[in-house]
Amino acid sequence: MGKRLRTQRRGKGSRTYSSPSHRHRGTVLLPKMDDLDGVVVDLVHSPGHTAPLAKVRFGEKEVLMLASDGLQVGETVSIGKISVERGHVLPLGRIPESTLVFNVESKPGDGGKFARSAGTAAMVVSHGARTVIRLPSGKYRSFDSKCRATVGVVAGSGRGEKPFAKAGKKVNAYRSRAKAPFRTSGVAMNPVSHPHGGGSHQHVGKPSTVSANAPPGRKVGRLSPKKKKKR
């Protein structure tokens, strides 16, 4: 089944399916600093991100950080200091339980990997040998207590409430994130474009489940469930 599927093209990593660099203002990670205070000098819009960015000045150095909800120009942002205020960065072990955080690091010093979309936040649940966090998906996960996070909620929470109104706006919005704005179902395609295509009417004329060992051109639809082992 040598068919050029959209999933194959995305997996190749060509320029067509990559987010344009000019839509990103720069690297947005937690700065590798400790026990410092910075001042928010500007709030900028980055088309490649769903949330606004805060330009924070630490001495002579300026860094880009995800803006917390309610952050304003002129406010002070501290890194490493014990102060549970919005926008401040602390290790998870120093953040009290039931505190909302975002941009949580997966490993100490990686700059933040979890809860980065606009309007999202995770919650510190408990402390122990490791810190347990409830992620925006509702899943509980334990992190190293040295992993850092930003206190508060990511700004831009109302972005999903505004309708696109027309197709062109959706195309431009999804282009920033290297996604297809519209998706055609496999049964609506021709046989040369998809294994589910063709026929006198739209239907999947064969089992829609495929083996996990199927080649990339054939692996579309649902993966077959694993056989249950006898006790």
Residue spans of alpha helices (H) in the chain: 6-12, 167-176
| pTM for the full predicted model | 0.78
pLDDT at 19: 81
pLDDT at 6: 75
Q: Tokens 């990511």 correspond to what residue? A: 154
Q: What domains, with CATH codes, occur in the chain?
A: 19-151 (2.30.30.30)
Chain-centre distance for alpha carbon 59: 30
pLDDT at 120: 95
What letters, b where the CB count within 10 A reaches 16 and e where it falls short, cover 145-180?
bebbbbbbbbbbeeeeeeeeeeeeeeeeeebbebee
131 with 143: CB under 8 angstroms? yes
pLDDT at 2: 60
pLDDT at 81: 85
pLDDT at 219: 80
pLDDT at 56: 94
> Which residues does 12 contact at the CB level (< 8 Å), separation at least 6?
none
pLDDT at 231: 63
The tens-digit pLDDT sequence of the chain (231 residues) is 466 777 777 777 777 778 888 888 888 999 888 888 999 999 999 888 899 999 999 988 999 999 999 999 999 999 988 888 899 999 999 999 999 999 999 999 999 999 999 999 999 999 999 999 999 999 999 999 999 999 999 999 988 888 999 999 999 888 888 888 888 899 999 988 888 999 999 999 988 898 888 887 778 888 887 777 666
